[in-house]
Amino acid sequence: MNALVSFIIFGILVAIPWFGVRVLGWESLFGIVIPYVCFLVFVIGLIYRIIDWAKSPVPYKIPTTCGQQKSLSWIKRSLRDRLENPFTTWEVVLRMFFEVVFFRSLFRNLRADLQGKRLIYGSAKWLWLGAILFHWSFFIILLRHIRLFTNPVPEIIQGLDYLDSFIQSFGVPPIYITDILILAGLTFLLLRRLIDSKVSYLSYGSDFFPLFLLLGIGITGVLMRYYFKVDLYAVKQLTLGLATFHPTIPEGAKIGTIFYIHLFLVSTLAAYFPFSKLVHMVGVFFSVTRNMPNNNRAVRYVNPWEYPVKHYTYYEYQERFKDKMIEAGIPIDEEVQPEEEHEWYSLYIVGSKLPPKIKS
């Protein structure tokens, strides 16, 4: 059901540019206005999300660890321990690097299955493989697209493009390796949600929709390169125009509708990105169980929620109960000094700069 609704929404998103360009002929809306607006939404949305996260206090130091923590000098720590239980900032950086680049924690993914009445846990690397295929291919494809937005194209991007397309055996234009890998990865990630009943049960529409969107982008891109060819010279005039802020719809050359569908889906992805699960691209850096060093015993971590609490000083106590103390024969300390005045604070309320005062 969730999958179906997402797919219908995706279908509508494909139909919009098809109708808009093919029937109404609004090339400049779908080629210039929407991409610019969506890119702006993307950037501003990301900044908004980052600042929103950065404003959230982290009350405790909560890194997840599974290695020997830094302890006495004669307790040895291997490189693995340093990654699993970082103590210094450098170790945290290294840990984050491996997390972001190789999805180290996903590599530990387990799968639980009932075998008769026995619950069995086993290693499950397929999710990791699908994820890494998709993410790396997507990243390389993103970099490769720089060839459409720069003139002259930097040598390194040319080299990347050449390496990616070095298999020339399947006709012209040569097939991109990342094109195959990204479709394989995405198909796996989608089938996993559709076929595995446990994962399917956990999947929302917002899990399926990005997959449909990304698959849609991949498939329109592949179709555009290999089957429904478009005039790439005109396409680059358009895209270069976007990048240099002189946007034009090239005259005299008709770009196929499939290009506008591809562009519209990419624009949708960009605008949708900051407000969906996809923003884990940024969120991973704010993942507090990963980005904190486990140095609680060496460096004091101050909870940002902490506020000055009024203590009942001994002076105040003594003033209040003086009579009763004398009555009971408890000695009075004459030298105790009144301490600095504090204010009474109570519970911290999210969003307020200072905790509210409570009148006594």
Partner 1 sequence: MYNAEKVIPFIIILIIFFTIPMWLNFGRLEAIPQPELPKEEKKCVESKEYMRAYHMKLLDNWRKKAIRENQHLYTASNGKNYTISLQRTCMKCHTNKEKFCDKCHNFVITHPDCWDCHIAPEVAKKWQ
Residues found near partner 1 in the complex (CB under 8 A): 42-43, 46-47, 50-51, 54-58, 146-154, 157-158, 161-162, 165, 168, 171-174, 229-237, 240, 243-244, 253-254, 256, 282, 285, 304
Q: How far is CA 291 from CA 80, 93, 299, in A?
A: 16, 8, 15
Q: Which is nearer to partner 1, 103 or 273 (CB)?
A: 273
Q: How far is CA 182 from CA 118, 131, 163, 219, 344, in A?
A: 37, 9, 16, 10, 59
Select from 227, 224, 219, 223 the least CA-distant residue to 239: 224
Q: Is 235 within 8 Å of 259 (Cβ atoms)?
A: yes
Q: Which is nearer to partner 1, 67 or 241 (CB)?
A: 241
User: CA-CA distance, 71 to 236, in Å (whole number)?
Assistant: 58
> In this structure, which amino acid lies at residue 289?
T
Which tokens sit at 234? 């005109």
Q: Which is nearer to partner 1, 144 or 193 (CB)?
A: 144
Q: Which is nearer to partner 1, 193 or 290 (CB)?
A: 290
State the nearest-atom distance from the C-beta of 62 to partner 1, in Å.
15
User: What is the helix (H) or strand (E) element at residue 224, kind and residue range?
Assistant: helix 205-226
State the nearest-atom distance from the C-beta of 22 to partner 1, in Å.
15
User: CA-CA distance, 300 to 296, in Å (whole number)?
Assistant: 6
State the nearest-atom distance from the C-beta of 290 to partner 1, in Å.
14
Q: What is the dihedral of CA 279, 283, 285, 291, to 10 degrees?
A: -160
Exposed/middle/buried for 60, CB within 10 Å: 0-12, 13-18, 19+? exposed
State the nearest-atom distance from the C-beta of 29 to partner 1, in Å.
22
State the nearest-atom distance from the C-beta of 255 to partner 1, in Å.
9
Q: Which is nearer to partner 1, 189 or 292 (CB)?
A: 292
Which tokens sit at 168? 């020339």
Q: Which is nearer to partner 1, 230 or 271 (CB)?
A: 230
Q: Is 150 within 8 Å of 243 (Cβ atoms)?
A: yes
State the nearest-atom distance from the C-beta of 50 to partner 1, in Å.
6
Q: Which is nearer to partner 1, 78 or 244 (CB)?
A: 244
User: CA-CA distance, 354 to 279, in Å (whole number)?
Assistant: 30
State the nearest-atom distance from the C-beta of 161 to partner 1, in Å.
5
State the nearest-atom distance from the C-beta of 157 to partner 1, in Å.
7
Select from 303, 302, 304, 299 the least CA-distant residue to 86: 299
Q: Which is nearer to partner 1, 106 or 240 (CB)?
A: 240
SS3 351: coil
